């Protein structure tokens, strides 16, 4: 599984000062599951070490300039960013991790300085390369390394990457409408935890009331699915999902077991225990009563459990 990444996050000494921005979580944890494809636009056009660059604004026009000599390098940075963004398509990436705050790679809150060097800088910019990638691939899962230290954003990003990879693999098998129904069914509760509206929209596409051609349906489904997995799950939606799942076996278990389960749901809702504790119990009953429908649900197993993302109380909001 390939993920694009700003090179300096892997420890490559490509920063302007000859240093790197190595990120332990990315290398040690995510590195077990993903192949990283490194990108460093600045290194490709300037030597390392080099003079730092920064974004400036005058009369609403953003430029990229060297920070001491004030040389305008906008065209160079734009050109290399476009070229690298074009190459991403061929690399079949499932996501991208950008270096925060960089005038080239930052996804948001990049500093923009006033052209005349007097006045206040603002943190409202977007890195030139990051913008190019986002404009070209708006539904490619992407995050900054800093935001991945937030358990909730990390959980959503990882879930999105695995689902992103899955739908493209699925579409490559040239599926029938029946295959699509099976695929869609397996994502029912995962999508439901993100957005009820998105689940309804996907259901309508699969139902194909207008009897459209399969290829058109698959294309419509892909687009809506990518939009759906882009959304972030919430505690209240997730709580509703666990109640739905509980409905499959509530009549098959004892009062004590029911009480224990419902208490764990409440504890999850009140942020006392992490989601993984609830999922463990739901998986246990799913196996015990051999409920095939639940066994296929991605919500119960969205990615390798060793990633342990749902072990944090902070992984849901």
The residue ranges that bind ligand SF4 (CB under 6 A) are 6-8, 14-15, 40-43, 99, 102, 104-105
Helix, strand, coil shares of the chain as percentages rounded to 5?
A: 55, 10, 35
Question: For residue 2, what is the enclosing H or E element?
Answer: strand 2-6
| Shortest spacing between CB 48 and ligand SF4, in angstroms | 8
Please say which residue, 18 or 138, places its beta carbon nearer to ligand SF4: 18
| Shortest spacing between CB 15 and ligand SF4, in angstroms | 4
The length of the chain in residues reads 317
Please say which residue, 30 or 180, places its beta carbon nearer to ligand SF4: 30
Please say which residue, 142 or 286, places its beta carbon nearer to ligand SF4: 142
| Shortest spacing between CB 135 and ligand SF4, in angstroms | 17
| Shortest spacing between CB 9 and ligand SF4, in angstroms | 7
Say which DSSP state 308 is in.
Answer: -
| Shortest spacing between CB 307 and ligand SF4, in angstroms | 25
| Shortest spacing between CB 129 and ligand SF4, in angstroms | 7
| Shortest spacing between CB 18 and ligand SF4, in angstroms | 10
C-alpha–C-alpha distance, residues 98 and 11, integer Å: 14
C-alpha–C-alpha distance, residues 31 and 145, integer Å: 13
Contacts of 215 (CB under 8 A, 6+ apart): none
Phi then psi for 36, rounded to 5 degrees? Answer: -90, 135
Please say which residue, 14 or 26, places its beta carbon nearer to ligand SF4: 14
Q: What does the block give as tokens for 35?
A: 């192949």
Please say which residue, 14 or 242, places its beta carbon nearer to ligand SF4: 14
Please say which residue, 41 or 274, places its beta carbon nearer to ligand SF4: 41
Phi then psi for 5, rounded to 5 degrees? Answer: -155, 150
Phi then psi for 54, rounded to 5 degrees? Answer: -155, 160
Please say which residue, 76 or 166, places its beta carbon nearer to ligand SF4: 76
**What DSSP string runs through 49-113?**
S---EEEEEETTEEEEEETTT--B-HHHHHHHHHHHHHHHHHHT-SEEEEPTT-TTT-SS-EEEE
């Amino acid at each position: 599984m390939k993920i694009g990444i700003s090179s300096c996050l892997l420890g490559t000494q490509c920063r302007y000062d000859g240093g790197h921005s190595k990120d332990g979580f990315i290398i040690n944890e995510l590195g077990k599951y993903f192949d990283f494809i490194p990108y460093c636009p600045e290194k490709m056009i300037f030597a390392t070490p080099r003079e730092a660059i920064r974004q400036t604004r005058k009369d609403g026009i953003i430029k990229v300039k060297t920070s001491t000599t004030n040389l305008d390098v906008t065209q160079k940075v734009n050109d290399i960013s476009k070229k690298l963004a074009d190459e991403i398509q061929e690399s079949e990436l499932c996501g991208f991790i950008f270096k925060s705050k960089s005038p080239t790679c930052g996804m948001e809150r990049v500093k923009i300085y006033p052209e005349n060097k007097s006045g206040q800088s603002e943190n409202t910019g977007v890195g030139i390369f990051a913008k190019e990638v986002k404009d070209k691939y708006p539904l490619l899962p992407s995050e900054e390394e800093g935001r991945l230290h937030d358990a909730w954003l990390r959980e959503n990003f990882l879930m999105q990457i695995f689902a992103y990879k899955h739908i493209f693999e699925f579409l490559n098998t040239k599926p029938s409408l029946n295959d699509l129904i099976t695929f869609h069914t397996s994502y029912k509760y995962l999508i439901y935890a993100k957005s009820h509206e998105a689940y309804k929209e996907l259901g309508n596409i699969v139902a194909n009331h207008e009897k459209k051609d399969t290829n058109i349906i698959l294309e419509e489904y892909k687009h809506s699915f990518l939009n759906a997995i882009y959304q972030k799950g919430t505690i209240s939606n997730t709580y509703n999902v666990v109640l739905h799942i509980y409905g499959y076996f509530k009549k098959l278990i004892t009062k004590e077991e029911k009480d224990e389960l419902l208490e764990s749901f409440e504890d999850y809702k009140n942020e006392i225990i992490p989601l993984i504790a609830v999922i463990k119990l739901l998986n246990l009953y799913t196996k015990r009563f051999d409920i095939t429908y639940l066994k296929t649900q991605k919500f119960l197993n969205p990615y390798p459990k060793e990633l342990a993302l749902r072990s944090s109380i902070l992984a849901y909001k």
